[in-house]
Amino acid sequence: MSGACLRLGLAGEVRFYILPVLVSDGVLYFPKFHRDVAFHVTEVRGYKSGMVELCYEVRGYGAV
């Protein structure tokens, strides 16, 4: 769902939650995009569990 919002240019903010666990080859957040999306970090928060929350403002979209 969030990938679809980014693809359509509807997302203004994206939050990632990173857990300190490796899962085989890793997990893709989003499928491949046909254009670049520019982000600007607005918040970083660490938790006692080791999880990290990253908040980004969507700054713009590249050409298709």
pLDDT tens, the chain, 64 aa long: 567 888 788 889 999 898 887 677 766 767 777 778 899 999 999 999 999 999 999 998 876 5
pLDDT of residue 63: 66
Whole domain around residue 8: which residue ranges?
Answer: 2-61
pLDDT of residue 41: 97
What φ, ψ does residue 2 adopt, rounded to 5°?
-65, -35
pLDDT of residue 4: 80
Domain count, the chain: 1
Q: What's the pTM value of the predicted model, to 2 decimals?
A: 0.74
Provide the Cα torsion 18, 23, 24, 30; round to 10°.
-50
